[in-house]
Amino acid sequence: MRIEKADRLQKLPPYLFVEIDKAKRKAKEQGRDIIDLGVGDPDQPTPSRIIEKLYAAAQDPANHHYALDAGMPILREAIAGWYARRFNVTLDPDTEVLPLLGSKEGLAHLPLGLINPGETVLVPEPGYPPYRSATIFAGGRPYYLPLLEENNFLPQLNKIKSSALTKAKLMFLNYPNNPTAATAEEKFFQQAVKFAQKHKIAIAQDAAYSEIAFDGYRPISILEIAGAKDVAVEFHSLSKTYNMAGWRIGWVCGDREIIAHLGQVKANIDSGIFQAIQIAAVTALDTAAGDLQNLVKLYQRRRDLLCQGLNSLGWKIIPPRATFYIWAKLPQGHRDSIKFAQTLLKQAGIVVTPGVGFGPSGEGYIRMALTVSEGKLEETVARIKKII
């Protein structure tokens, strides 16, 4: 007997990173030396003080049971304290903060708490694939917001069709942006908040890369904008900031009603984050500032090395102000991002992400992650020089 998959899965394109991983594994099985600039998985270890706190907390039997769905009070208070220090934004740790099993989990579950079948979600493209898939899982209809270079990769809110706005309930934003590495300033967030208030649309701002920023630049929080806490929530992750990608811990904060709706979804799906991990996260938020500064310097060196190397080959890449990605327009004579990515893998052993995989507006670009050593990046430039 053949068991058919659900219609909602039929509506999804192949998940981008799964397909990249398949191609990468196949190349490795062939014995090839692969440089992986595809998935943005931090290559540095979690700071030792965080690991030590996890070890100590894991030995405490008090932590060997189901955690609270809402997260431990000490973690919610640490998050609120970090927000006050970082953004000068006051959060109620009991109603305006919700720890997550990684920000991806919260982003994926949010539409289930806000969207009814047939309602519209405004989804940026190119964009992080879960924005689209989460909308489809909730029975919603994605309405795509093209992020174009001529608009600094910001959505043009004034060009959204009125027919889409009548059924729109949620808008995803993501700055600093993945995959384009674009940033958004106060003026844009002010426009977004006014837009959401006017059309009664909730905003989910994904700020997973807010702390990976260069040249003295400090991204702002949408919650710094007047009125934002009445329409918006912001998602954060410890994965990139503290090299805790496998730990699966992040949070969402902001509008208490949106958070309550998401919390109700989570109460029916998961049983909270292992308490030892939550205790370690408190240490990360309270004490790891020096580790973060060193990490940012590392990524900035890598950014400069790769951008300078590619530009020496005739590319025209402006170093991004944030994230650990390079969003590179294909070199002259190339238009198909999938074919170009395949060429890099076959002829140079380099894994990159084709831009079109993030949405049609990503065609003509590739994304490269700065999550390999400087030596590997130098080798990347040398290999590309041989084939273009």
Asked, as a colleague might, if the bond just before 179 is cis with ω within 30 of 0, I would say: yes
Torsion angle of the four alpha carbons 309, 313, 315, 320, in this order, in degrees rounded to the nearest 10: 0
Name the nearest CA neighbour of 185 among 150, 145, 224. Answer: 224
**How far is residue 364's CA from residue 338's CA, in Å, rounded to a whole number?**
9
CATH 3.40.640.10 fits 7-45+290-387, yes or no: no
**How far is residue 80's CA from residue 74's CA, in Å, rounded to a whole number?**
10
**How far is residue 41's CA from residue 181's CA, in Å, rounded to a whole number?**
16
Verdict on whether the full-model pTM lies above 0.75:
yes
**CB 355, CB 334: distance < 8 Å:** no
Question: pLDDT at position 17, please?
Answer: 66
Half-sphere exposure of 183 (CA within 13 A, CB side): 19
Along the 388 residues of the chain, how does pLDDT read in single tens digits? Answer: 888 889 888 888 776 667 777 777 887 788 788 999 998 899 999 999 999 999 999 999 999 999 988 999 999 999 999 999 999 999 999 999 999 999 999 999 999 999 999 999 999 999 999 999 999 999 999 999 999 999 999 999 999 999 999 999 999 999 999 999 999 999 999 999 999 999 999 999 999 999 999 999 999 999 999 999 999 999 999 999 999 999 999 999 999 999 999 999 999 999 999 999 999 999 999 987 788 999 999 999 999 999 999 999 999 999 999 999 999 999 988 899 999 999 999 999 999 999 999 999 999 999 999 999 999 999 999 999 998 7
Name the nearest CA neighbour of 362 among 317, 327, 314. Answer: 327
Fold identical between 7-45+290-387 and 48-288?
no
Strand partners, 351: 36
Residue 387, burial from CB neighbour count under 10 angstroms (0-12, 13-18, 19+): exposed
Considering the domain delimited by 48-288, tell me its CATH architecture: 3-Layer(aba) Sandwich (3.40)
- Domain ranges, ordered by start, for the chain: 7-45+290-387, 48-288
Half-sphere exposure of 116 (CA within 13 A, CB side): 1
Q: Which amino acid is at 58?
A: A
